[in-house]
Amino acid sequence: MLTAPEAVESHPVGFELEHRLLRIPEAGNRVSRVIVNRTSTPQRGVTAFFDRRVTP
């Protein structure tokens, strides 16, 4: 998920944060959104959730 997302979006406020999205087939193709601090080494997930606003 963190290394091979289907889509990447920039964060509207924090330049160091990045949203990574991936459909999860085992969850009925719901879209998982992981917010990552891309400036830390190793990259760290800040939060993760199923995004109901994004349709599969």
What is the residue-wise DSSP string for 6-28? Answer: SEEEE-SS-TTEEEEEEEEGGGT
State the average pLDDT over residues 28-41.
92
Instruction: Please state the pTM of the whole predicted model.
Output: 0.82
Map out the domains of the chain as residue ranges.
Answer: 7-50
State the average pLDDT over residues 23-27.
93
Say what the pLDDT of residue 4 is: 87
- Any idea which residue has 């800040």 for tokens? 46
What percent helix, strand, coil does the chain show, rounded to 5? 5, 50, 45
- Above 90 in pLDDT, residue 32? yes
pLDDT band at 15 (very low <50, low <70, confident <90, very high): confident
